């Protein structure tokens, strides 16, 4: 664990110890909205979401993987709050699940494993606001 230090946007900080990060330095004033994102979410933003007990599902797909993304979107859309999907290039794994202090790589969509991760770790961050709607920055 790398703590939960709030920083200002653009402020330098040490490197994270995992990719994607599961704790550490994050923007004090910015979170991402739950749901499906088409662009990567900055590390300093997603760590703030994790601090609030949210779950990140991210994919690293250098080639055509429309079917995998569609399956992940369907899972994420079944959770109205606290679950986010976004691309995250460079992990070397097709799918990454993160919560506060936890990371799991998957080589393919396994809905049962994904739903269990969400059930086990949603609302388990150090600064939890159960099922609060997170505001856009």
What are the extents of the domains in the chain? Answer: 24-121
Contact, 3 vs 23, CB < 8 A?
Answer: yes
Report the distance separating Cα 103 and Cα 131, nearest Å. Answer: 21
pLDDT at 64: 83
Helices (H), the chain: 43-51, 66-77, 111-121
Strands (E), the chain: 6-7, 26-27, 35-36, 55-59, 83-87, 95-99, 102-106
Task: Encode the chain (137 residues) as per-residue pLDDT tens digits.
Answer: 899 999 999 899 999 999 999 999 999 889 999 999 999 999 999 999 999 999 999 999 988 899 999 999 999 999 989 999 999 999 999 999 999 999 999 999 999 999 999 999 999 999 877 555 544 44
C-beta neighbour count of 29 within 10 angstroms: 9
Q: Is the peptide bond before 20 cis (omega within 30 degrees of 0)?
A: yes
Query: Given this model, what pLDDT does residue 79 score?
Result: 96
What span, in angstroms and rounded, lies between the C-alpha atoms of 65 and 61? 6
pLDDT at 120: 98
The H or E element spanning position 107 is none
Q: What size, in residues, is the chain?
A: 137
Of 2.60.40.10, 3.40.30.10, 1.20.1600.10, 3.30.930.10, the CATH number of 24-121 is 3.40.30.10
């Amino acid at each position: 664990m790398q703590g939960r230090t709030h920083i200002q946007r653009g402020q330098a900080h040490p490197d994270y110890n995992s990719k994607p990060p599961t704790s550490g330095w994050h923007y004090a004033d910015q979170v991402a909205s739950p749901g499906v994102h088409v662009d990567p979410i900055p590390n300093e933003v997603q760590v703030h979401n994790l601090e609030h007990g949210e779950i990140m599902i991210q994919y690293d797909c250098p080639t055509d993987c429309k079917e995998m993304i569609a399956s992940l979107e369907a899972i994420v859309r079944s959770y109205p709050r606290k679950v986010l999907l976004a691309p995250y290039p460079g992990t070397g794994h097709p799918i990454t699940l993160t919560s506060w202090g936890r990371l799991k790589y998957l080589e393919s969509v396994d809905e049962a494993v994904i739903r269990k991760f969400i059930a086990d770790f949603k609302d388990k961050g150090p600064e939890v606001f159960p099922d609060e709607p997170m505001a856009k920055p």
